Structure 1
Amino acid sequence: MVGRLITALFGLFLACGAATSANAAEPDLTLEATIEADGNEPYVGEMVLVTLRGDYDAFITLERFEGIELPNFTWLQLGRDVWSKGRKNGREYTSVERKLALYPQKPGTLAIGPFRHRLTLDDGSGRRSETIVVSNALDLTVKPKPATNGGWWLPARNVTIDDHWDMDTARLADGATATRTVTITAAGQTAAALPPPPKVVAPWLIAFIAPEIRTTEITRDGPVGTVQWQWRMRPSRSEPGRLPAYHIPWFDTQSRQMRDLVMKSRRFAYATITAPEGTAARTRPESWLLPLALGLFLPIGAALHRRRPLPARAILARLRRWLPERDAFAMRAALLRGDARAYRRIAARRLSRRGLAPEEKLAALDEALFRGAPVQSVDLRSLDRRLREVLRRAEAPKDIDTWQRGQGFAARPRG
């Protein structure tokens, strides 16, 4: 009798131990998804952060998240998964955290998740088993993007601009080319979401843009996109001009307000134009030689022909046709030296003086000088022959008799 009682008690003890072992063998595995957004109802294209956190009371040998499917979003993972050890309710847990940046592509109520994490567990005795931990599902209400000036929509946490010039464009040296570098950085957006470069066009300006540079830096708080634009600019005329400002609207997701990014206006002028009056006059001999010559020859001409003298403007135009132009000599000297930049500067001045467009007549030379092509590819001598013909046609002399008839003069009969 006593033996049977001992046997029954021993069996009961084994059954309790087995049940306790079975309960202890069942690990505590949880995976939770949470949303972080700057607004309760974000706009289309606005960044939404999703955090997946798993807490596992088990020894994990292998793991992987199954394919994430988010059909109404574009998304990217913010770095690698972060693993850590901790204790909860006196028990040791292994934790994992994955962060995603989501960008909704359409308005409405959109579903996020559930997400699945496949784990391979070791029970401590060498036996392995595979399980899938499923997270909760989330709903997100998304508003359509609002109308903006120019139609460009850029939601971001912060946007900054760095607008740098390598020289003072208001006092350019003759023939100088200015370089403008603009860098735009947006926190909470990728580089692909940043706007395209503006078109820098003005009738008085020659401008070439280099290939843009776009980069995206991944941080745990979201991506940081950067775009860099670079232009090389120079005036095609001697008159000053002003490059207009360019505005880029963007939406501040933290303050929930529209803001404006500005590429500031810029004045272009050569330093010789803004030099103090009198400086150029002291260096020009014709400022005193020409009036002296006119004072000597006008009375003599009037006495010999016994008629009223020509006005100073007509005589000056005729003298200029007779006397060789100083810029013609300088242009020829630049051609003989092979100095393409000096040749272009002097030729542009002569063309502008006659009302011709330098950027049209000198397009091939500009392509070589400002796009980095080899200058040797331009035949300066052929270009010089064409330009001399153009200038010759523009300098067709006016008939002096036309002027006389316009003034009411007639030839006096002899005798």
Structure 2
Amino acid sequence: MVKRVFLFLCLSLMTVTAMAANITARVDRDPVRLNESFKIIFEADDNINADPDFAPLEQDFDILSRSRSSNMQILNSEITQQTRWTLFVMAKRSGELNIPSIEIGSDHSPQISITVNAAGDSGAAAENMDMFLEVEAQPTSAYVQSQILYTIRFYRAVNLNSATMPEPTFSGGEVRVQQLGEDSSFETRRNGRRYVVIERNYALFPQQSGAITINPITLDAQVVNSRAGVFDPFGQNTSTRRLNSKRVKLDIKPIPTAMQNQPWLPAEDLRLSESWSQQSPEFVVGEPITRTLTLKADGLSAAQLPALPMPQGDGFKTYPDQPRLNDKRGSQGINGTRQEKIAIIPTRPGELTLPAIEIPWWNVNRQQREVAKLPARTVQVQPGVGGAQATSSITQPDTNTVTAETRAAPAGTTDQATPGIYLWLSLFFAAAWLTTSLAWVVSRRRTALLRGRPTTPGAKLCLGAVKKACERNDPHGTKRALLEWGAAFWPAAPPASLGDIGRRLDEDVQGEIESLNQTLYGSRQTGWRGDELWQSLKKASANHAKRDRSDNQVLLPLYP
């Protein structure tokens, strides 16, 4: 009995040994080219749950992807199982390479070999291939921070499932990269063969001078093969192929001496222009008018364009808005635009000169310094409504002419000279009367300007409207309420602008109105608070009313 049990155990062990998995290894084709993927297929005639260790393959091959599948078949009550591992790999070097034995469970795959040929050359030889890459950089010698156009063209004469290509990388220096739009696709013929071409364009901006190299571009493509696999007759049989472009060397020149200590703007073209909020701008004291300055550059991004000089001068105030930056990308590169809007408020009537604006830049095509310029502009500022001051001038008679005429008169015409004297005396007294009348009008007008009517019901109501607008922190509502209050407070000579109101009161009100103008016409569109303006205005209007009553008490006895 013991012998039978021992014999049974021996037979069982022999059966287990006989049932050990049989593992095979093969490739889908041999030979292959460098930078061309192929399959390594490991098969076991059993169901194996263990994960193989494929690390030994990584010495000579890049593992692109891997998959596992199992198959079970029952035939005449006999069960057969199969496990398969499929690896997409790419050789790291050319030559006769060994695919090492791989441990799978308790078994090992056999070692096999494959022949890897060198990759085809670019140029004319590449044009005879199914796929190849072309790269081009223009110009290869450029100034630091100037634009270089880099173009990649992928030619293919086969069907693809997918393709991936990273952005360019560089050696020798920092380069900023911006892709120019979407990829374009077209067809062409090379040596009588039709190719589909995918083109991608980049704008490169080197950030330092010296020698910089654009590293080879690597493209991985999933090529659709014509025959389907035995185990997947309904699927696509694909293979991965890798293409590498040539290196491109760049010579980056430093900033020229002529542009030292100036804004560095290396461009193909740069233009400065202006426009106004009115087609024919009219300048009036206290009324804002918007000037729009636009700087456009071919070959520079908007972020590279400097802030435009803010014109400063006597007789006006400026309130700049936030600049608008815009980039237009096309196959010819980047065109950057910087636009700035400035509200200009004249502070006095008469002649006003806006200074010239100059932007120096470097013309990369002509290799010279140039200047984009807006000339100085001289305009006439009209007085605001109620803000004009009457003026008069008296033309003195030309005494030399009169003397000459008197001398030229004959001796017998003495009686005729008398009417001439009376005529001049009449003109003199008429002019004196006109001057006195005009001075009286001006005096009444100035008195009206200096005196308000704070006690009128209209002024009180308007002052309440100012208070409510300030409490709401509403800058536009406060402006309207202030102008309405000013018209009611000075009915004989209403103020033409907010600045006119400030000048008639005190410095505190002027400062708060300046802050309000910054909010209305400048870049600060939010965050304005009206409580300080209201407190200053309330105090100033009360002081103005007291001063006005004091003046009336002094003047009343003079005019009983």
Structure 1 counterpart of 2:447: 325
Aligned pair partner of 2:436 in 291, 305, 325: 291
> Which residue identity lines up with residue 138 of structure 1 in the other structure?
V
Pairing 1:102–2:204 present: yes
Cα distance change of structure 1 residues 150 and 231 upon mapping to structure 2, 3 Å threshold: farther
- Contact conserved, 2:268 with 2:364, CA < 8 A, in 1? yes
Q: For the structure 1 residues 150 and 261, does the alpha-carbon distance in structure 2 shift closer, same or farther, using more than 3 Å as the test? A: farther
* 2:272 is the counterpart of 1:161: yes
2:245 equivalent to 1:135: yes
Q: Distance in 2 between matches of 1:28 and 1:44?
A: 38
Q: In the aligned structure 2, how far is the partner of 1:135 from the partner of 1:375?
A: 62
Alignment map for 1:157-306 (pairs within 5 Å): 157-167=268-278, 172-202=283-313, 204-238=315-349, 240-267=351-378, 269-272=380-383, 280-281=391-392, 291=436
Separation of aligned partners in 2, 1:170 and 1:85: 54
Aligned match of 1:60? 160
Change (3 A) 1:93 1:170: closer
What is the Cα deviation at residue 64 of structure 1?
A: 0.9
Distance in 2 separating the partners of 1:241 and 1:149: 34
CA separation of 1:390/1:258 partners in 2, compared to 1, >3 Å: closer, same or farther? farther
Whether the 8 Å contact between 2:219 and 2:242 is mirrored in structure 1 is yes
Structure-1 separation of matches of 2:142 and 2:195? 35
TM-score, normalised relative to structure 2: 0.51
Report the identity percentage.
Answer: 21
CA distance in 2, matches of 1:33, 1:63: 17
Q: Counterparts of 1:122 and 1:233 in 2: how far apart (Å)?
A: 66
User: Cα 1:171–1:226, aligned 2, differ >3 Å: closer, same or farther?
Assistant: closer
Aligned residue identity for 1:267: T
Give the Cα–Cα distance (whole angstroms) in 2 for the partners of residues 197 and 235 of structure 1. 20
- How far did residue 199 of structure 1 move? 3.1
TM-superposed deviation, 1:114: 0.9
- Which residue type is aligned with residue 243 of structure 2? V
Q: 1:72 aligns with which of 165, 168, 174?
A: 174
Q: Which runs of 5+ in 1 are unaligned?
A: 1-17, 295-315, 398-415
In the TM superposition, what is the alpha-carbon distance from 1:196 to its structure 2 partner? 1.4
Cα distance in 2, alignment partners of residues 114 and 331 from structure 1:
82
What corresponds to 2:123 in structure 1? none
Distance 1:27 1:41, change over 3 A: closer
Q: Aligned to 2:151, which of 27, 34, 51?
A: 51
Deviation string, structure 1 residues 311-360 (Cα, Å, up to 9, x no partner):
xxxxx9xx97x99712024685895556524746488569879xx997x7
Structure-2 residue corresponding to 1:313: none
The yes-or-no answer on 1:146 pairing with 2:256 is: yes
Matched residue, 1:365: 513
Which letter does structure 1 place at the counterpart of 2:450? A
Kept after mapping to 2: 8 A contact 1:207/1:234:
yes
Instruction: Give the counterpart of 1:383 among 520, 528, 537.
Output: 537
Deviations 1:215-270 (A, max 9, x none): 11111110111111001111234464422112111122222222211233233542
Which amino acid in the other structure matches residue 250 of structure 2? L
Seen in structure 2, the aligned counterparts of structure 1 residues 30 and 168 have a Cα distance that, compared at 3 Å, is: closer
Native 8 Å contact 2:284 2:349 kept in 1: no
Judged with a 3 Å threshold, the aligned counterparts in structure 2 of structure 1 residues 44 and 323 are, in CA distance, closer, same or farther, namely closer
Q: TM-score, normalised by structure 1?
A: 0.67
Greater radius of gyration (CA)? 2
What is the distance in 1 between the residues matched to 2:287 and 2:438? Answer: 37
Secondary structure of the 2:382 match is: coil
The secondary structure found in structure 2 opposite 1:234 is strand
C-alpha deviations, 1:183-233, integer Å up to 9, x for none?
222122111111113234345432211111101111111011111100111
1:346–1:194 Cα change, 3 Å: closer
**Displacement of 1:384 after TM fit?**
6.1
Partner of 1:6: none
Kindly indicate whether the alpha-carbon contact (under 8 Å) linking 1:62 and 1:121 is maintained by their aligned counterparts in 2.
yes
Q: Distance in 2 between matches of 1:331 and 1:169?
A: 38
Deviation at 1:389, TM superposition (A): 5.2
Sort the Cα spacing of 1:163 and 1:293 in 2 relative to 1 into closer, same or farther, 3 A.
Answer: closer
Q: CA deviation at 1:32?
A: 1.8
- Name 1:340's counterpart in structure 2: 482
**Take 2:175 and 2:328, find their aligned partners in 1: how far apart are those partners?**
20
Pairing 1:16-31 to 2, within 5 Å after superposition:
27-31=129-133
Partner SS, residue 383 of structure 1: helix
Q: Does 1:90 align with 2:212?
A: no
Q: 2:168, 2:214 within 8 Å by CA — same for their partners in 1?
A: no
Q: Comparing 153-162 with 170-179, which one deviates more in the overlay?
A: 170-179
Preserved CA contact (<8 Å) 2:283 2:379: yes
Larger mean CA deviation between 116-125 and 149-158 belongs to 149-158
Rounded to whole Å, the distance in 2 between the matches of 1:341 and 1:150 is 47
Q: Distance in 2 between matches of 1:261 and 1:247?
A: 6
Matched letter for residue 223 of structure 2 = L
